[in-house]
Amino acid sequence: MLGSARRATPTTGGPADVALEMEAALRDAAKAAEMEPATLAGVGVGSPGTIDADAGTVSSARNLPGWEGAFPLAATLERALGCEVRVGNDVQVATDAEFKLGAGRLYRSLLGVFWGTGVGSGLILDGRAWTGLGAAGEIGHMVVKMNGARCTCGRRGCMEAYAGRASMERHVRKLQEEGHETQLFKLMEEHGRTRLTSGIWARAIEHKDKVAIEVLDRAIRALGAGIASASNLLDVEGVIIGGGLGVRLGHPYAQRIADEMLPHLFADWRPPHVHVAALGDLGGAIGAALLLRAEA
């Protein structure tokens, strides 16, 4: 890695505003590497939502502001940067990176589970990425409880409704209103955050916060059931646990997820190998860069 930069995702506006911030971040990173964007072989983008890789468009990026319909992200950035741009799903490209360079490089089949604000996944089957019609890997919306908790997608009982950080935060607020004491929000304020970030969760666990432990246990049970169900269908060799929470909580929690999978696994005599993402936070960016050489 020659240069890097970070910018906050806009919370208002629309796709064009998000594209402008991406362009600025790319220019910052190129500057750090003392390069001009136009001299790059190309730019790879990992984006949430449903991707049409050939058209370079992104649709249904629900966590981004005002993202209705298909937006031509690749063409927009190509015009701005003066080099080729390829777009892939953020979670799929992170899985590709783990498959080619990270914790999954010994396997031919892989499920990458990214545990953060939501829970997404990427798939490698028989050595190739599987994206379905463009929306494969939505493991967060596998049902772990019929008529269960309300999910951010509007449906009920999804794994993400128990294990996504956004849902976990909502559940903590409800428990607090019911009179359960927790230090989670105090820790959040002390560290100048406006959300219960992965770091705040990790600290609350260190403080042995009862509510944090309980909500995290519930999340891990849901992850165990959901990932085991996916594994029953696909029978992959390896499972990679990444994402903000997955990487922050690390190996002990990946092991706990593996333990929670066991009672639900059909082939429980040879469970898939479960690893933490080896490329950590950078997996998405590395995997997106690899899109430029996908046909090489």
Residues near Zn ion (CB under 5 A) are 141, 151, 153, 155, 158
Which of 132/263 has CB closer to Zn ion?
132
Which of 56/157 has CB closer to Zn ion?
157
In this structure, how many other beta carbons lie within 10 angstroms of the beta carbon of residue 100? 15
- Report the nearest approach of Zn ion to the CB of residue 164 (Å): 9
* 194 burial level (CB within 10 Å; 0-12, 13-18, 19+): exposed
3-state secondary structure (DSSP) of residue 252: helix
Say if residues 51 and 57 touch (Cβ distance below 8 Å). Answer: yes
Give which of 96, 143, 103, 141 is closest to 123, Cα–Cα: 96
Distance CA 274, CA 247 (A): 13
- Report the nearest approach of Zn ion to the CB of residue 7 (Å): 28
- Report the nearest approach of Zn ion to the CB of residue 295 (Å): 34
Which of 113/158 has CB closer to Zn ion?
158
Q: Which residues on neighbouring strands pair with residue 156, listed in sequence order?
A: 150
- Report the nearest approach of Zn ion to the CB of residue 233 (Å): 18
Which of 142/188 has CB closer to Zn ion?
142
Give which of 19, 115, 21 is closest to 67, Cα–Cα: 19
Which of 27/145 has CB closer to Zn ion?
145
- Report the nearest approach of Zn ion to the CB of residue 136 (Å): 15
